[in-house]
Every structure is written in C-alpha cells, then in structure tokens.
Chains A and B, each alone.
Chain A
Amino acid sequence: MYKIQKSIITNEDHGVIRLSDNAFIPFSQDNTDYQAFLLWKSQGNEPLPADE
C-alpha cells in the first residue's frame, strides 16, 4: 500500500510513501521502486491521498 506525499516546498505531489517500511519514493521514472508502484497501480490499485 502507498500514500501520496506532497512537497512542502511546492505543495505538489512529489512522491509516494511505501507504507510497509515508510520509505519515500520520488516520482522518477529511473527509480525502480517507482516502477514497482506504477505496476501496482496498473493492477487496479489506488494509493491513499496525501495529507492536507
């Protein structure tokens, strides 16, 4: 499970938190963990929304 994370600098979504280990994964196509997130999402899953 993942949760969207906003940047405090830009206030825009800039990555996801992998809730299993609290790791921050940036939105970067070069990041293998982000690729795993995209695969997870393509399987019909949705991350939790970011904190407001």
Chain B
Amino acid sequence: MPYGTVNADLMTTSDGVSSAGVYGFKNRLINGDMKIDQRNAGAAVTAGTGTYTLDRWQAYDSSDAVFTVQQVSDAPTGFVNSAKITITTADASIGASQYNYFQQRIEGLNVADLAWGTASAATVTLSFWVRSSLTGTFGGAFYNSAYNRSYPFTYAISSANTWEQKTVTVAGDTSGTWLTTSGIGVAVTFDLGTGTDNTGTAGAWVGAGNIGADSTVQLASTLNATWYITGVQLEKGSTATSFDYLDYGRSLAQCQRYYENNILLGATTTSTGYFTMQSAFVSKRISNATVTSAGSYVVLNQGLSTITLGNAGALSASTRYSDTLIISAEL
C-alpha cells in the first residue's frame, strides 16, 4: 500500500468506520453496555418518578402500571449485561398525562461539540440492541434541558424475545437552547408507555417536550411484558459504528462522576463534637451533591472539598469517627 498525504476531513473505511467519531469520547452515553450497577448490584428496582437504576440510567413511572428495572446477564453476542424491564402491574388505559420511560441524561459538557441549537448542529446516530416479548413499533425521543425541544423517533421490533440491533440517525437541532454546561445537555428516552401529552410525530424536531412518538407500543399496558436493552451508543455522524467498549475501570470512573457509594472516610472531632472530612470523591461537584450517611450522621456543612458531619452535638470531642457515605450528583 503506498503512503502519501490525505487531504480529507472525513475518512471512511470499507467497513464503514469513519474518522469523525473514532477518537476520544465516541459514545456520548455512559454505561451503554449496562455493566455498572453500583446501587443495586443486579437486584431489581421498582421505577418511581426518576429512579436511578443501573448507573446513569433513570426510570420514570407516573402511571397506574408498575415496572421493575434489573441488570441481567441476558445479552447479545459481544455484551455481558443488559437492562431488563418487566411490567409487574399493567395499566391498560394510560392517561394522556401519564408516562413510563427509561432514559439517560447526558451532561452538556459531553455534547458541546454537537453544536445543537446552532446552524452547525451535527448529525448523530443512536444505536442499540433491544429485545422484547412484544413486537411492533416502539418509540423514544431526544429532548433538551428545558423540555421545550424534542425529536420523537420510532424503531420496530419484528420478532418477539429476539435480540435485534436498531439504528436511529438524527440531523441535529438547529433551534432551541441546548446546554453545553454541567447541566442536562441531551436526554435520550425509550418510551415504555406514555400518554399523548408527551408524544409527538416521529422524525421531526418540534418546539415542545416529548418522551416518545405517537401511536407506538405501550409496554406498560401488558402484564409481564419484558423489554431488554444494551449496547446503547450515541455518536456523532450519520453511521452507527461498532460499540465503544471501555475497560471496567474507565466505565466505573465515568459513572462515579455522578454517583459513588460505600465511601469510607474518617476524621477526628473538634472540641465542639463534629468532624470534617476532606473530599476523596470522584463525583462531579461535591458541593452540589446529595449526601447520605450510613452512620446516620447529619451533614452540618458541605464545602467545595470537605464534608462536616455531626450528630446534634452528641459526638465526643477529640475522638476519631468514620462514616460510609453515598454521594449523588446525578443530572
């Protein structure tokens, strides 16, 4: 093969891999292969209104249906885990304002280069593996932080209980406000049964929030229906490329920017009976994080890099205490 100078902005190999998204942070979704589950370690969790399940993945249920989310080992070739959703109570008549969905909110810093909301908005491609006990046309959507711009999309599941890979390519939104800060940049949803107040026409940007597309399968209406997903990737460009596999350590570190548990820290109390621990967290911004103490201590102060704990003055002075903390700075 001769060598020479290539004057090109985009190179695409014969197997469809392009230079546009190969280097760096190709997959803008974190834990797309569903292998990190710090909170539940494989146990099923019942969805509420914004329940975090597997790391970075959030479940919403405002309907009369009940569903669980669980990390399982059922996965297509090339993956070890998937997220399984099971409808444990069906809602045969989902109201117009009710919703059931599974989503990830991507931090604005991680999609800033997409330039959404400008004339230079980049095209993106969402790809994922999915299987369900139901067949038909399912829906999802992209939406912004203010929930006033959205792009509903559909995908078809043709065979029940069979892993299928789906691809959705979307020309970036040239309108609206899309955060490029540490807030919510882009949210990607998979609709499990949502009323008409929050669904819209598939395949077009609209100046309103939506969770899914009109007239799609409502998984939440069928008792014991299941829906699995893994290998979820959102990348720049109009082609779905191979999944961006990361080693476990890097995947965990990505997740720990937003959530960490079992963090054991200790310090010696002051003469007034509280103790201040230096931050040793990966979490995004400790001063903005929700902190849960396993030792039932009370957070008395939270600085940029420290947490001060006490217990209503009941701690002994000049004594060593430690505590196990959970830090959550989810979007």
Contact = CB atoms under 8 A, between A and B. Distances in A.
B290 interface: yes
B292 A9 contact: no
Contacts of B298: 5, 17, 22, 24
A30 B183 contact: yes
Nearest to A51: B312
A26 B329 contact: no
Size bin of chain B's contact surface: 20 to 34
Nearest to A10: B301
Contacts of A25: 290
A5 B182 CA distance: 26
Contact of A8 (B287, B290, B292, B310): B310
Given A5-B299, A8-B274, A26 B289 contact: yes
B290 A22 contact: no
B329 A8 contact: no
Contact of B287 (A17, A28, A32): A28
Contact of B288 (A5, A7, A8, A31): A31
Q: Which of A31, A36, A51 has most chain B Cβ within 10 Å?
A: A31
B251 interface: no
B331 A32 contact: yes
Contacts of A8: 274, 300-301, 308, 310
Given A22-B296, A24-B291, A30-B182, 7 more contacts: A8-B301, A17-B299, A22-B293, A24-B292, A26-B287, A31-B290, A31-B329
User: DSSP class of A's interface residues: helix, strand, loop or mixed?
Assistant: mixed
Interface of A: 5, 7-10, 14-15, 17-18, 21-26, 28, 30-33, 36, 51
Contacts of B183: 30
Interface in B154-210: 182-183
- 7 closest A-B pairs (Cβ-Cβ)? A24-B299, A23-B292, A28-B288, A8-B300, A33-B290, A9-B301, A7-B301
B257 interface: no
Nearest to A33: B290
A28 B312 CA distance: 24
Contacts of A14: 301-302
A17 B300 CA distance: 10
B28 interface: no
20 contacts: A5-B299, A5-B300, A7-B300, A8-B300, A8-B301, A9-B300, A9-B303, A15-B299, A15-B302, A21-B292, A22-B296, A25-B290, A26-B288, A26-B290, A26-B302, A28-B287, A28-B288, A31-B289, A31-B290, A33-B328
B50 interface: yes
Interface in B305-331: 308, 310, 312, 326, 328-331
A23 B301 CA distance: 13
Contacts of B308: 8-9
A21 B325 CA distance: 12
A4 B122 CA distance: 44
A32 B301 CA distance: 19
Contacts of B288: 26, 28, 30-31
A9 B304 CA distance: 13
B26 interface: no
Contact of A32 (B293, B302, B330): B330
B285 A30 contact: yes
